Structure 1
């Protein structure tokens, strides 16, 4: 958990990778309580960042489709 807890990730992919690594460290059960809490807080920040990015992309898709999302059908 060497990442700065207040620094936003560079991208969605970077946030997702950091979140996956953080989950592994937390699930290992090897962190002291204070670091566990800090890890949980950073994870919540990363999750909110990812959700925000996904919502922004969804909004862009709606705009591009003129507000009518079409159901995906495999070809």
Structure 2
């Protein structure tokens, strides 16, 4: 049974962290398209899903950081976005 615990805690293969939000989003969109195509072998699909989860967490972290900065700029209040036309 210790082997099962060890395999759960082992990290996925080390892939480089995205340079920025835009590159992470682009890679994530590509992975989603490949997964949705249904043409990936099961092992590749699992790896793509795992990488997608990492990219999603990265993107969410970046968005939350920006949102926190906006709150600071708006004196602690998150104001709704209004587009001026």
Instruction: Settle same-fold status: TM greater than 0.5.
Output: yes
What residue ranges of structure 1 are gaps of 5+ in the alignment?
A: none
**1:69 maps onto 2:65 in alignment:** no
TM-score by length of 2: 0.77
Task: Give the number of equivalent residue pairs.
Answer: 72
Q: Per-residue CA shift, 1:8-57, capped at 9, x if unaligned?
A: 10110000000111111111111111111000000000000000000000
Structure with the larger RCO, 1 or 2 (CA within 8 Å, 6+ apart): 1
Report matched runs for 1:35-74 at 5 Å: 35-74=44-83
What TM-score, normalized by structure 1, do the two folds share? 0.86
Question: Could you list the runs of 5+ residues in structure 2 that have no partner in the other structure?
Answer: 1-12
User: In structure 2, the residue corresponding to 1:10 is in which secondary structure?
Assistant: coil
